[in-house]
Amino acid sequence: MNRKEIVARIKNEKIVAILRTKSQNDVPQLVKIVLETGVDVLEITSNTPGYLEEITNARALYPNKIIGVGTAINVKIAEQAIAAGAQFLVTPNTNVDVVALSHKYDVPILMGAMTPSEVCVASENGADVVKLFPAGAMGLQYFKALKAPLDHIEYFAVGGINPNNVGDWFKAGASGIGYGCVVNDAKTGKIDFEASKKLSEDFVNQAKSN
């Protein structure tokens, strides 16, 4: 698929699962669990150990899914991830050099931005989607105020989004959302795979109903 086709699929799916762990050993099971819930678009963040290897593995195991890299904060990370097979880039920051790199390789980019200036810089430099981040910390009223003069831009809200408020973000004008798909047990701190599965199921259901 080319950049245009991948962008269309991401926008159609409306949700991006964000996978970030402290151990590479947990990644394969998490990828499997999340994708089996109906999630079609997943990013593995660059601060996950072994993320390049896991992107390559996920692409090979799940050729019908869209696998990208998250936290692509600079050109070096983005270029290495593309070489590993990442089909899209996601950043928490506004870095026009990463946008230029994504265009060079015909790879979509969801660029992080928060202020009106950052949103405009990301959009005017060709970001395929503006990732409003951290959306939850700023809240729906901030998003509505931001979107009023900048309603020609498509936004994915990321950070602080949960199944209980995702509908509110869609109603406010978000085209999609990103969510952390890893749930840790409150007592042990270890990954709760069943809870992670349930969370993804809930988000898939919300995306389909909004």
Catalytic positions are 43, 131
Tell which phi-psi region holds residue 14, choosing left (phi > 0), alpha (psi between -120 and 50) or beta: left
- Bridge partners (DSSP) listed for residue 89: 69, 109
Cα 26 from Cα 39, distance rounded (Å): 18
Cα 105 from Cα 199, distance rounded (Å): 33
Nearest in space to 102 (alpha carbons), one of 132, 82, 123: 82
Cα 54 from Cα 37, distance rounded (Å): 19
Q: Buried b / exposed e across 164-203, counting CB within 10 Å, b at 16+? A: ebbeebbeebbbbbbbbbbbeeeeeeebbbeebbebbbbb
What value does the CA radius of gyration of the chain take, rounded to a whole number of Å? 16
> Omega before 49 cis (within 30°)?
no
